[in-house]
Structure 1
Amino acid sequence: MFFHPMDFLIILAFILAMWAQSKVKGSFQQGSKIQASSRMTGVEVARKILDDEGLTDVKIELSRRGALSDHYDPTAKTVRLSEPVYRGSSIASLAVAAHEIGHAIQHANNYSMLVLRHKLFPVANIGSQLAPFLLLGGFFLELTNLIGLGILLFSGAVLFQVVTLPVEYNASSRAKTKLLELGMISNREERSVGKVLNAAALTYVASTLIAVLQLVKFIMIFNNRR
């Protein structure tokens, strides 16, 4: 349970995750130093893309949760942007704002992977909360059925993370397309925007990799105990 060959891979994945987090901050800081040629702010970019897509009912609010707290809330149909993104006119600000609008466009178009992600959320939420207790209890008490139930619930949480990957990459792709299409960035600025978006996506890749490796570890232990 505590010392398993898979742990070496999991540790490497954790190192990748920490590196990805630092890369996100570094890429955002670097992108924040580059002013976009359009001189538009994040909120202006967000509003222009939404209006161009006919999503006039989607609101934009200033997030009070600090830097990099940007997100789209589908239940409230609201995009919340952190202050550096909301008021900033840098490449990083435009990239992040457009990415969150990408999620709003996905929601409006019923993007299949986003729909699946929303359906998996209740299962993933329950699985992420209960699975650790079931697995620990099952391993310590040597109850195979309890371990199996824990793995099943944890699998739901892992599947949610796997589905999140195409959702995030698709939102980034939509973001770059709309920024170029509406003339909010130049062709030369596309690469800088891509660096910011790719760095953010890498954090999802790393966290998903950790979850998948942990699931494989639990399944291997479960099979050995059977």
Structure 2
Amino acid sequence: MDYYLLLMIALIISFYAQIKVTTSFNKYLKVPSNSGYTGREVAREILDRNGLYDVRVEPIGGNLTDHYDPRTNVIRLSNNVYNGRSIASLSVAAHEVGHAIQHAEGYFPLILRNNIAPIAGIGSRFVWILIFLGFLISPFLIEVGIILYLAIVLFQIVTLPVEFNASRRALYQLDTGIVTSDEIGPAKKVLKAAALTYVAATLVAIGQLLRLMSLSSRRN
């Protein structure tokens, strides 16, 4: 079946993407930036130059756990990024600030993603339970599960422009005196590797949706 082929390709890309982002991040985590700034300092500088004085920058545990929380207006950076002075640290910090700038400007794809997120969260918790019960009790539950999974797929699709745009904003900000022209290339590599993980996640979600639709047609 075509959907099995798509799912297999998506899983291969996903595996490759995880390796790529890890190797790229670890490689440039060892390359110090000429600026001497930490990720926290870069995040703070970009926020302030864009008038986002109310957005806080806080450390968070883990590796590659960096994110912007629009509910609390907080950028959370992993220790390697928060205290790091490498090109990778500065690139990731700038990317997360890109999300804060999106939020402040009312960037529509980000607003759409934030609105879909609660439904997608419910779907991720209950979709497989509904599918299982659908085979035991009623095909209607499978249909409900597919509708919930559609929210997950839509969330992944909308995430792509959000992440790509945040990376473009990050590179623009970095290229205005924070890093040298020679460091922009490595920064792009770090951000492109991270973007590939979102592409892979989207393909996996679409493949799973097609698989669920096939299971539903068999049950009916």
SS of the residue 2:175 aligns to: helix
Whether the 8 Å contact between 2:67 and 2:96 is mirrored in structure 1 is yes
Structure 1, unpaired ranges of 5+: none
The residue number in structure 1 matching 2:52 is 55
Once the two structures are TM-superposed, the CA of residue 144 in structure 1 deviates from its matched residue by 2.4
Q: Secondary structure of 1:76's match?
A: coil
Rounded to whole Å, the distance in 1 between the matches of 2:9 and 2:43 is 37
1:175 to 170, 176, 182: 170
CA RMSD after TM alignment: 1.5
Secondary structure (helix, strand or coil) at the match of 1:40 reads coil
Q: Can you list the C-alpha shifts for 1:35-66, whole angstroms capped at 9, x where unaligned? A: 21222111111011000000011111111x22
Deviates more, 1:127-136 or 1:95-104: 127-136
Instruction: Quote how far apart the aligned CAs of 1:109 are.
Output: 0.8
**Paired residue for 1:32, among 22, 26, 29?**
29
Report deviation, 1:74: 1.3
Distance (Å, rounded) in 2 between the aligned partners of 1:209 and 1:161: 9
Is 1:213–2:207 an aligned residue pair? yes
Identity among equivalent positions (%) equals 49
How far apart are the structure 2 equivalents of 1:220 and 1:83? 44
Measured in 2, the distance between the counterparts of 1:218 and 1:208 equals: 15
Give aligned pairs, total. Answer: 220
Give the equivalent residue in structure 2 for 1:153: 148
How far 1:139 moved relative to its partner? 2.8
Shift of 1:95: 0.3
Return the offset for 1:23: 1.1
Q: Deviation at 1:8?
A: 3.6
**Would you say 1:144 and 2:139 are equivalent positions?**
yes
1:214 aligned counterpart, secondary structure: helix
CA distance in 2, matches of 1:5, 1:67: 36
Query: Whole-Å Cα distance in 1 between the matches of residues 174 and 117 of structure 2?
Result: 30
Partner AA of 1:201 in structure 2: A
SS at match of 1:67: coil
Q: In structure 1, which of residues 85, 88, 94 is the aligned counterpart of residue 84 of structure 2?
A: 88
Q: Give the distance between the partners of 1:166 and 1:25, measured in 2 at CA.
A: 22
**CA displacement at 1:224 relative to structure 2:** 4.5
Give the alignment partner of residue 14 of structure 1, picking from 11, 14, 18: 11
Q: What is the CA-CA distance between 1:87 and the residue it aligns to?
A: 1.3
Alignment of 1:61-140 (within 5 A): 61-63=58-60, 65-140=61-136
**Separation (CA, whole Å) in 2 of partners of 1:81 and 1:139:** 43
Give me the TM-score of the superposition, normalised by structure 2.
0.94
Cα displacement (A) at 1:5? 5.4
Greater Cα offset, 143-152 or 191-200: 143-152
Q: What are the Cα deviations for residues 73-126 of structure 1, in whole angstroms up to 9, with x where unaligned?
A: 111111111111111111101100000101111111111001001111111111
Deviation, structure 1 residue 187 = 2.0
User: Could you tell me how far apart the structure 1 residues matched to 2:136 and 2:8 are?
Assistant: 23
Amino acid aligned to 2:149: F
Gaps spanning 5+ residues in structure 2: where? none
Distance in 1 of aligned mates of 2:77 and 2:215: 43
